[in-house]
Structure 1
Amino acid sequence: MSKYVPEDVEKKWQAVWEDGGHFKVEADPARPKYYVLEMFPYPSGRIHMGHVRNYSIGDVVARFKRMEGHNVLHPMGWDAFGMPAENAAIKHGLHPASWTISNIDSMRTQLKRLGYSYDWRREIATCHPGYYVHEQRFFLDFLKKGLVYRKHSPQNWCETCGTVLANEQVIDGCCWRCDQKVVQKDLEQWFLRITDYAEELLADLDKLAGGWPERVLTMQRNWIGKSVGAELTFALAEPVEGETGITVFTTRPDTLFGATFMSLAAEHPLVPKLIAGKPQETAVTAFVESVRNMDRIVRGGEDLEKEGVFTGAYCINPATGAPIPIFVANFVLMGYGTGAVMAVPAHDQRDFEFARKYDLPLQVVIQPEGRTLDPAAMTEAYADPGVLVASGDFTGLPNEEAKGKIIDWLAETGRGTRSVNYRLRDWNISRQRYWGAPIPVLYCEKCGIVPVPEKDLPVELPRDLALLPDGRSPLPVSPPFTDAVCPLCGGKARRETDTLDTFFESSWYFARYASARKADGPFDPAEIGYWLPVDQYIGGIEHAILHLLYSRFFVKALRDCGYVAFDEPFSNLLTQGMVIKDGSKMSKSKGNVVDPDLMISKYGADTVRVFILFAAPPEKDLEWSDTGIEGASRFLSRLWRLVTEELAGVLTPVAACAPAGELGIDALPPLFAELRRREHATAAKAGADIRERFQFNTAIAAAMELVNFLYANVEAIKAEPKGAKAASSAVATLLTVLSPIAPHICEELWQRIGHEKLLIDQPWPTHDPAALVTDEVEIVVQVCGKLRGKVSVPRDASKEDLERAALADANVAKHIEGKTIRKVIVVPGKLVNVVAN
């Protein structure tokens, strides 16, 4: 028989599938739809093993759902804008467009080599004007709706990349792209009011429970960070430049009477006014500059050493009327609450540490039951429940009860209000880079900010600009781009030279696939109504906040602008683990990268797919193993030999899980009844593993066991002429079950058996529950209630037969040796308990 040559087999069937349009799909209201999507890649030029794992998982799901009768949408595209293309273009003397398009061509070829079932007609690239013209329309719609605004504020700035970063793009104080230190820079930027949707984003997480990993839901809840409390004002002892007070938000109004100082964020706009002309001005200014450039995560961490500086100013505690000093503190963040914190050192650990360091007073206002706190003797803050003391009319109340009463009192006396605060900040979408979608606004000295008329969209990114060697965007110094005419007054106008954050593109791409070639709008209503939301989304846990949160917001904003009718983009989410080698994530810097192309050339795409799906469950990290991929190769070679050599001439084109009557199973020896049981058990287990748990590794293991059983009984199968159909059915089931995982080899072997129709068009095998019933059952044997053995007996064995079999077991005999058997308790079909002493 011919040798298994993966390259030949894979090229053959990839051509057949593509030429036959087997993965092309159209909306069909008469059929149930299933939309499976893997997070689209950035076109770096090479796919890596993380890509292979992500896309192999998605391809198994897509092929499986297709076999189950669903109309499956499985698209692919490219997250094609962004700084890496720009930086690489500067380095190599290329234009970002040509670099990106070349990379897309290379990666598309690589993905096709793996046999993924994509409908390539729906391919998109976010750098194409036919794509970003629609998001420019979205921007203008959001602007009309008040969801887009421009403001001047301190921003995260990466000097290396020459652009601002959203809070979510700053990781441990460094740029998420280049890993360089991020500093603060005052800029005027465009923002999206994601905070307008904070409550809905939080509440709708409950709708996703069961479909999304709880870990991701928790991360999003924490990032949105809802807090319920009070907003109140501490009057300044001496008003400055028209400012009369400091507004704070607190979740602990029960501790208000214990506030002994005020802490401000370094970025708080009141700070320069408070220190102007005071002896502390120089020291405070220096401290502010040092703190502003600290990592926000570090500043908010519990282990941060608390530091601060006195401003020389005081404010008044609205509950006690006492003046309290105002400090600038490194642990207070402008982005959270109001950027001002009433400090209650007796009942907050951060405030306690700060107060001890700077010798500030502690005022106990909550006493625990059964003991009395002494401020001078306290070694840590007391943050647990208790009873209020030294709290005016609220003294004696349990602190939880006092919270609401104090808020009511603040509201009644005009000192404050009940309030809800969110950790979530508005999304900065301005980027000072060239390779991105232009923001469609003009600046006119007479008319101000003017939206680009829709008829003039898209505002195309000019492709004829030379990149600047220092990495700055060439757009601001390109008059053909910047110079424009105001559509309102006809006067001179200047075009916006900031481009959109690339997360703007990736926050709606999944919806564009539904009608990827529609030119006169982003979506066809019928198409998007049929396909969306995505039924199964697959990607890395590293996108748990940025991409997923932005996409959820974007869908809600598009809904409110009348574009879509659903609330959430992704009904189910699978976050796969990383591919690691030698104990760490694969990376060029660590020298532990495994090239997918080399593996495909050496072993074949099916082997790579089998290994990467068998080595670990999807949600776990996968450790690359050379012996593991060798094992996957040996398995497929064994499968090939089983069909083309060992059972050659025996197998006929019988349907998978063929009915018993069709096989004449009752007239066959017990071996074939067992073969049929194993065949149907394999179909049942693999189906449940893929459908319910995405446990591809155990589905493959079930197929391997069936291969082993067939090999062990090859001679018996050949010796029984009537067994050919039973073996043919088992092999048909084996190939069908494995086909979503290793599609090329299974399709080839299916054809070689003599099947006329393609395996790709076959349904998933329907197992017969009756076939899973065995003629024998396993009985537990106990001695005095302790498990001592298990025996297999005929299903209809009598109590006497069960007793004899139990007493004959060697381990049972050992445990009753020298003892008198008092009685034997038999539960038919379940257990035998021997009582002896």
Structure 2
Amino acid sequence: MPETRTSEISGKTANIIESSTAAEPNQPQRYSPAEIEPKWQARWDADPSLYAAEGHDSGKPKYYCLEMLPYPSGALHIGHVRNYAIGDALARHMWMRGYNVLHPMGWDAFGLPAENAALKNGVPPREWTLSNIAAMRKQMQRLGYGYDWGAEVTTCLPDYYKWNQWFFLKMFEKGLAYRKKSKVNWCPECCTVLANEQVIGGRCWRHEDTVVELRDLTQWFLRITKYADELLDGLDKLEGWPEKVRTMQRNWIGRSEGAHVDFAVADGDAKITVFTTRVDTIFGATSVQLAPEHAVSKAFALEDDALRVQIEELLEQQKVARESDALGAIEKHGVFTGRFAVNPFNGERVPIWVANYILADYGTGAIMSVPAHDERDFEFAQKYGLPLRPVIAPNVDTNDLALPYTGEDEAVLIDSGEWTGENCLEAQEKMAAFAKAKGFGTPTVTYRLKDWGVSRQRYWGTPIPMVYCDKCSPEEPLPVAESELPILLPEQVDITQTNGSPLGRIPEFVNAKCPKCGGVARRETDTMDTFVDSSWYFYRYADAKNSDAPFDSDKANYWFPIDQYIGGVEHAILHLIYSRFWTKVMRDLGLVKNDEPAARLFTQGMVIKDGAKMSKSKGNVVSPDDMISRYGADATRMYALFAAPPDRDLEWQEEGVAGISRFLGKVYRLTTKFSGVARAKGTATGPKDQALLRRLHQTIAKVTHDFDGRWHFNTSISSIMILVNEITANEAAMDAGEISPDAVAEVFRSLILLLAPFAPFFAAEMWEELGGEGVVFRTQWPAVNEELAREEEDEIPVQVNGKLVTVVKVPAGSDEAAVKAAALADEKVKARIEGKTVVKVIVVPGKLVNLVVK
């Protein structure tokens, strides 16, 4: 069966589902998910151990299957259903393969949306959040997801966020948590600071129409840059992660090797530090350019009102470009300051410009402009008539050198003093060392990655466990004692005002004792970024009820790394890079042994409706409750797996769910009809047995292979449908006793086991109907009979003008078109007819192919 690549029920896929679900005359619909599904859910709810993981002494291989925890927004939509159906099918399959499976669920429950919803609806964030969690948990249970609810984690409850605070204290002890004044991203709509990773195209990650401002504020940061190299190098080891995710993280970390070089301001005491990856081109620098907000730009502006107006105009152009997300393509403008800087390598005075495309928060906010060897600098120089000075070339002959020339590996330096004639790569190292020896520069590695700003000026988050004492520590904050944790978040808080943190208006919270002198102190009123909560939650699942530690290390070391993590690619930067950082910190604290949180990552495609991603904001959300009421939970989740490969986008179509429901109804009819035969014992094994069993074992092999790596559940389900068509074709033979009871029993029992990961309620009902022992998803996965699973082939002689050329192999029973295509694709045939005209292709199916050529 070829892979189904369409998100629609069309073509060959349509033929499969229609032939599997066509209405059968005089056969009333007996399958009733409205009766079956609640019955089995009640049984499963009564026995929590069914989905609970066993201890590390179980003697079974472990498998940690995890979907990213949701934000409790109030209701699931079909996008959630697809994500969780993928993980649930995998978890159930691994139970059936004999693994000790951890498959938990929790709630990313802090964050701004709850606060905004509270403002809108007049409901306190805690009440709103917990009621949403209850509703969404009920939906998940109704969908039949096999979660260990005994390991449930809710990040807004004290038993969880206590450990956020504990980790913060540990990071403060290690110098990884610190407070400083710096330029930060401010969302005027959220009224809070954002981390760099939460700014997308100059806009707030939650409000795509809101331009982020830069403000000077004192904030808390986590020193993620300490792990920059390890975060980067570790990506090469994550072979089970999608390359696109690894590439996104590499680009975000943005490691650049180069040098910092100081250009002294002529006739003054100031200096301008630039970072360059091409110090070998420094003899070609014809200007230094500053960001409008650079300290030296501001100093010059204070001395010259006309210059100040021009610089403010450049800054305004930069802001407008941010608003239109056009910083990368901004029309370059600049102004000459009338001042000069001194190139430390040759003593030359170069003009200092301020330019609108230089950003204060990128690098040092200053560059050396080498227009002969940089496309951006070339464009600026052409516009303002700045000179171009070639200093590198493929060889010493520069007569025909096209500018800008950016070669490196094979290029050599020209007109560059004592380094003339040196290879560029070798010169970079030597010139950086020279700058260091002379005291005006140093070899440097820089990163696009910046330290993680975790302060938030909002209420609904983890309180930061620090205090301020004017008496004994007026300059530096002090950590609270671990024995005081958790620092509880007050519940009755007025969050209608947005000028500053709401916690700052609650004396009972703010007033505290100094842990050093015992005097009066003030609590920190910022709360933690909600991504702190999701950076380590999966470790808590391993030991969710521990009140003495975030988790037991032995348990974590047994379960980690996560064997399969599943979630959207939109979390490639925000969540995944933070969780990798947190894992490395915990490793260095001696809590865990693993370097990375997850061995394998799968990013599912989006669910599309009416041409757009399904989301509340677009008004195209489909409620799973509606689908369940019409077609049942099994049909809803099974269609989400069938309609497209899980890594591709899926176009939602309700008629597809109806088709899956009809298919399950057909399997229900067949199973209940032959359940008596399947329970009996027989001995005869004839040719019709073998044909049906061959199709069965080919299906088992296909579905098993898909679970083992490809995850093309759409083709898995298609192959099951083909098996059901084969059963239907043999229905009369089974009625007549021409197929043995043993074969009937094997076919139906295996069919239901194959369906168990995809349609658990249905499988449980049919397993009981067949007299199966135990819980269906704890029953051993059907084994493949390799001999029966082997695809039968026909060997077809191929002739050219009546002379045998080769023999091609095709699947048994292939039609004329398939045999012809196989013959023409054979290399020996192609060589024999090269340069000739094929006049006719004669195909005798199952016998031979003869090509008439001239």
- The one-letter amino acid of 2:353's match is F
Q: Which residue does the alignment assign to 2:414? A: 389
SS across alignment from 1:325: strand
Instruction: Output the CA distance in 2 between the equivalents of 1:4 and 1:60.
Output: 22
Question: Does residue 126 of the first structure (1) align with residue 155 of the second (2)?
Answer: yes
Q: Is the 8 A contact 1:25 1:71 kept in 2?
A: yes
Q: Which deviates the most, 264-273 or 364-373?
A: 364-373
SS across alignment from 1:484: strand
Q: Which residue does the alignment assign to 2:842? A: none
Instruction: Output the CA distance in 1 between the equivalents of 2:807 and 2:355.
Output: 68
Asked which structure has the greater RCO (Cα within 8 Å, sep 6+), the reply is: 2
Q: Which residue does the alignment assign to 1:674? A: 691
Q: How many residues are treated as equivalent by the alignment?
A: 791
- The one-letter amino acid of 2:458's match is R
Choose from 744, 764, 771 the match for 1:754: 771
Q: Is the 8 A contact 2:201 2:325 kept in 1?
A: no
Cα deviation, 1:763-805, whole Å, max 9, x if unaligned, reads 11111112224676343635368999977889xxxxxxx9xxx
Instruction: Output the CA distance in 1 between the equivalents of 2:629 and 2:512.
Output: 53
Distance 1:129 1:773, change over 3 A: closer
Instruction: Output the CA distance in 2 between the equivalents of 1:741 and 1:254.
Output: 61
- The one-letter amino acid of 1:132's match is Y
Q: Which residue does the alignment assign to 2:432? A: 407
SS across alignment from 1:149: strand
Q: Which deviates the most, 362-371 or 156-165?
A: 362-371
Q: Which residue does the alignment assign to 1:651? A: 678
- The one-letter amino acid of 1:475's match is L
Distance 1:194 1:284, change over 3 A: farther
Q: TM-score under structure 1 normalisation?
A: 0.90
Choose from 650, 657, 660 the match for 1:632: 660
Question: Does residue 74 of the first structure (1) align with residue 103 of the second (2)?
Answer: yes
- Alpha-carbon distance, 1:532 to partner: 1.6
Question: Does residue 705 of the first structure (1) align with residue 728 of the second (2)?
Answer: no
Choose from 84, 109, 116 the match for 2:138: 109
- The one-letter amino acid of 2:405's match is Y
Instruction: Output the CA distance in 2 between the equivalents of 1:787 and 1:473.
Output: 81
- Alpha-carbon distance, 1:280 to partner: 4.5
- The one-letter amino acid of 1:652's match is R
- The one-letter amino acid of 2:233's match is A
Q: Is the 8 A contact 1:287 1:309 kept in 2?
A: no
Matches within 5 A, 1:822-837: none
SS across alignment from 1:276: helix
Q: Which residue does the alignment assign to 1:604? A: 632
Cα deviation, 1:107-136, whole Å, max 9, x if unaligned, reads 000111110010001111110011000110
Choose from 127, 135, 138 the match for 1:98: 127
Instruction: Output the CA distance in 2 between the equivalents of 1:171 and 1:729.
Output: 55
Q: Which residue does the alignment assign to 1:451? A: 479
Q: Which residue does the alignment assign to 2:308? A: 282
- Alpha-carbon distance, 1:601 to partner: 1.0
Instruction: Output the CA distance in 1 between the equivalents of 2:406 and 2:274.
Output: 20
SS across alignment from 1:651: helix
SS across alignment from 1:184: strand
Q: Is the 8 A contact 2:634 2:761 kept in 1?
A: yes
Cα deviation, 1:60-94, whole Å, max 9, x if unaligned, reads 11111111111000000000001100011011111
- Alpha-carbon distance, 1:410 to partner: 2.7
- Alpha-carbon distance, 1:832 to partner: 7.7
Q: Is the 8 A contact 2:793 2:809 kept in 1?
A: no
Instruction: Output the CA distance in 2 between the equivalents of 1:175 and 1:769.
Output: 56
- The one-letter amino acid of 1:200's match is E
Distance 1:151 1:754, change over 3 A: same
Instruction: Output the CA distance in 2 between the equivalents of 1:352 and 1:170.
Output: 30
Instruction: Output the CA distance in 2 between the equivalents of 1:279 and 1:364.
Output: 36
SS across alignment from 2:679: coil
Q: Which residue does the alignment assign to 1:199? A: 229
Q: Which residue does the alignment assign to 1:266? A: 292
Q: Which residue does the alignment assign to 1:797? A: none
Choose from 378, 391, 394 the match for 1:365: 391
| Unaligned residue ranges in structure 2 (runs of 5+) | 1-27, 814-818, 824-828, 837-845
- The one-letter amino acid of 1:255's match is T
Q: Which residue does the alignment assign to 1:494? A: 522
- The one-letter amino acid of 1:144's match is E
Cα deviation, 1:298-350, whole Å, max 9, x if unaligned, reads 88954232223333332111222111122222322334332221111111111
- Alpha-carbon distance, 1:462 to partner: 0.2
Question: Does residue 64 of the first structure (1) align with residue 93 of the second (2)?
Answer: yes
Instruction: Output the CA distance in 2 between the equivalents of 1:287 and 1:694.
Output: 55
Distance 1:301 1:159, change over 3 A: closer
Q: Is the 8 A contact 1:284 1:310 kept in 2?
A: no
Instruction: Output the CA distance in 2 between the equivalents of 1:85 and 1:605.
Output: 29
- Alpha-carbon distance, 1:236 to partner: 1.6
- Alpha-carbon distance, 1:176 to partner: 1.0
Distance 1:792 1:258, change over 3 A: closer
SS across alignment from 1:755: coil
SS across alignment from 1:238: coil
- The one-letter amino acid of 1:181's match is V
Q: Which residue does the alignment assign to 2:36? A: 9
Q: Which deviates the most, 744-753 or 227-236?
A: 227-236
Choose from 486, 491, 504 the match for 1:463: 491
Distance 1:729 1:299, change over 3 A: closer
Q: Is the 8 A contact 2:292 2:311 kept in 1?
A: no
Choose from 162, 165, 173 the match for 1:136: 165
- The one-letter amino acid of 1:187's match is L
- The one-letter amino acid of 1:729's match is E
Matches within 5 A, 1:404-803: 404-446=429-471, 447-448=473-474, 449-470=477-498, 473-645=501-673, 647=674, 649-652=676-679, 664=683, 668-720=685-737, 723-773=740-790, 777-779=794-796, 781-783=798-800
| Unaligned residue ranges in structure 1 (runs of 5+) | 655-662, 795-801, 807-811, 820-828
Q: TM-score under structure 2 normalisation?
A: 0.88
SS across alignment from 1:283: helix
- Alpha-carbon distance, 1:177 to partner: 1.2
Q: Which residue does the alignment assign to 1:799? A: none
Distance 1:457 1:391, change over 3 A: same
Cα deviation, 1:664-700, whole Å, max 9, x if unaligned, reads 5xx5332211111111111111011012111111111
Q: Is the 8 A contact 2:311 2:354 kept in 1?
A: no
Q: Is the 8 A contact 1:779 1:792 kept in 2?
A: no
Choose from 365, 374, 378 the match for 1:348: 374
Q: Is the 8 A contact 1:299 1:333 kept in 2?
A: no
Cα deviation, 1:249-273, whole Å, max 9, x if unaligned, reads 2111121110111122334333322
- The one-letter amino acid of 2:235's match is L
- Alpha-carbon distance, 1:284 to partner: 4.7
Distance 1:793 1:678, change over 3 A: closer
Q: Is the 8 A contact 2:314 2:334 kept in 1?
A: no
Cα deviation, 1:417-455, whole Å, max 9, x if unaligned, reads 222111111100000000010001001112131111111
Instruction: Output the CA distance in 2 between the equivalents of 1:299 and 1:235.
Output: 34
Instruction: Output the CA distance in 1 between the equivalents of 2:172 and 2:225.
Output: 15
- Alpha-carbon distance, 1:374 to partner: 7.9
Q: Which residue does the alignment assign to 1:332? A: 358
Report the identity percentage.
52
SS across alignment from 2:554: helix
Cα deviation, 1:538-596, whole Å, max 9, x if unaligned, reads 00000001100000001111111222221100110000011001221113343322111
Distance 1:567 1:296, change over 3 A: farther
Instruction: Output the CA distance in 1 between the equivalents of 2:359 and 2:503.
Output: 34
- The one-letter amino acid of 2:780's match is P
Instruction: Output the CA distance in 2 between the equivalents of 1:288 and 1:153.
Output: 22
SS across alignment from 1:608: helix
